[in-house]
Amino acid sequence: MLATLLLAIATSANAFDLRKLIANDPTEPDKFKIIHVADLAALVADQNSHVNIYDANGWGLRSRVGIIPGAHLLSSDDKYDVAGTLPPDKQAKLVFYCADTL
């Protein structure tokens, strides 16, 4: 029963954070924001934006639908070498994308 209660609390906390993310209401310490295609296109077109784009899709999906030109390909959506993959500048603009194939 305790495990069920803890799971319910954890689930509701994650759902709350997801709603804030979808509403583009970033809070400390997570400053995630959903970006729309037109906004990303504008960042890519702006040579001063220095945006870093990361593709978290698997190889199968990439071979079928392609990638955003210039995107860095992650080896996994959750298990990659952060220090070796992401830029050392902690203020860098990072955009991650993946597809929901379900």
The residues near 86 (Cβ < 8 Å, ≥ 6 apart) are: 52, 54, 92, 94
Each of the 102 residues of the chain gets a pLDDT tens digit; together they read 333 333 333 333 444 455 665 566 656 556 778 888 899 999 999 999 999 999 999 888 899 999 999 999 988 777 888 888 889 988 889 999 888 665
Q: What's the pLDDT score for residue 67?
A: 92
User: What is the greatest pairwise CA distance in the chain?
Assistant: 55
Q: Looking at the whole model, is its pTM more than 0.75?
A: no
Half-sphere exposure for 20 (CA within 13 Å, toward CB): 14
Q: Supply the DSSP string of 62-97, one letter for each residue.
A: HHHH---TTPEEPS-SS-S-HHHHS-S-TT-EEEEE
